[in-house]
């Protein structure tokens, strides 16, 4: 019997595995939240598959998402990171990791944690949308607009509403598994 998945996860084994094990599963770990913020920003204009294939390289290059170390990176180190073929070598995206780490540290200081801040936007519980088809899955919502605007106000970059909606799906703040998908929640 063939396992049914959301349509986007049927193009490769890598995407299927990510879909089955991670996508839509609530994440509360600070490093993992920052990892997905970084990866979703890197994905802008590219396929998610491209970023998934480079995921291990991102963890290596970006110091396993250690916020204090990322925030302390100097310009020369960022320029060296741009030479690494294992990541998307876009200057604005690479440099945004340092500024986002600094913004995340400031947010942790003011809000207690990145986790509590982010999850406060959904009342601490995933929003389960139960789409019937891919046409019912939005690229952005009023909620992602609001979170994006607040993140930008706090100094984050590469956090537009579409990126943030994809982030919210990735970390389980929003569950958009479609009808027919083996991960679809009917409860």
* Domain extent at residue 92: 30-175
Give the pLDDT confidence score for residue 1 in this predicted structure.
Answer: 67
- Whether 58 is covered by a domain: the verdict is yes
CATH number (domain holding residue 122): 1.10.340.30
The pLDDT, as a whole number, for residue 184 is: 85
- Residue at 77 is within a domain: yes
Query: Is 143 part of any domain?
Result: yes
Q: Is residue 17 part of a domain?
A: no
> What's the average pLDDT block by block, 10 residues per block, for the chain (187 residues)?
89 96 97 98 95 98 99 98 97 98 98 98 96 92 99 98 98 94 79
Whole-number pLDDT of residue 186: 64
Q: What amino acid positions are annotated as catalytic residues?
A: 18, 40, 48
Query: CA–CA separation, 64 vs 58, rounded Å?
Result: 8
Q: Is residue 124 part of a domain?
A: yes
**Rounded to whole angstroms, how far apart are CA atoms 115 and 123?**
12
Q: Is residue 126 part of a domain?
A: yes
**Number of domains the chain contains:** 1
Model-level pTM?
Answer: 0.96
pLDDT at residue 102, rounded to an integer:
99
Residue 19 resides in a domain: no
What is the Cα–Cα distance from 82 to 88, expressed in whole angstroms?
8
- Asked if 72 and 103 touch (Cβ cutoff 8 Å), the reply is no
At 42 the pLDDT is 97
How far apart CA 170 and CA 167 sit, in angstroms, is 5
């Amino acid at each position: 019997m063939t396992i049914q998945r959301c349509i986007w996860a049927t193009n490769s084994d890598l995407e299927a595995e990510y879909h089955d094990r991670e996508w839509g599963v609530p994440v509360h770990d600070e490093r993992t939240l920052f990892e997905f913020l970084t990866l979703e920003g890197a994905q802008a204009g590219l396929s998610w598959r491209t970023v998934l294939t480079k995921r291990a390289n991102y963890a290596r290059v970006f110091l396993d998402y250690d916020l204090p170390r990322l925030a302390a990176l100097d310009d020369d180190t960022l320029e060296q990171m741009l030479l690494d073929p294992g990541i998307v070598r876009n200057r604005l995206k690479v440099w945004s990791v340092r500024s986002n780490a600094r913004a995340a540290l400031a947010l942790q200081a003011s809000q207690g944690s990145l986790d509590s801040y982010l999850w406060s936007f959904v009342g601490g519980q995933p929003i389960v949308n139960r789409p019937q088809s891919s046409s019912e899955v939005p690229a952005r919502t009023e909620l992602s607009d609001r979170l994006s605007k607040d993140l930008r106000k706090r100094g984050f970059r590469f956090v537009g509403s579409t990126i943030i909606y994809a982030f919210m799906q990735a970390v389980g703040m929003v569950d958009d598994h479609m009808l027919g998908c083996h991960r679809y929640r009917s409860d």
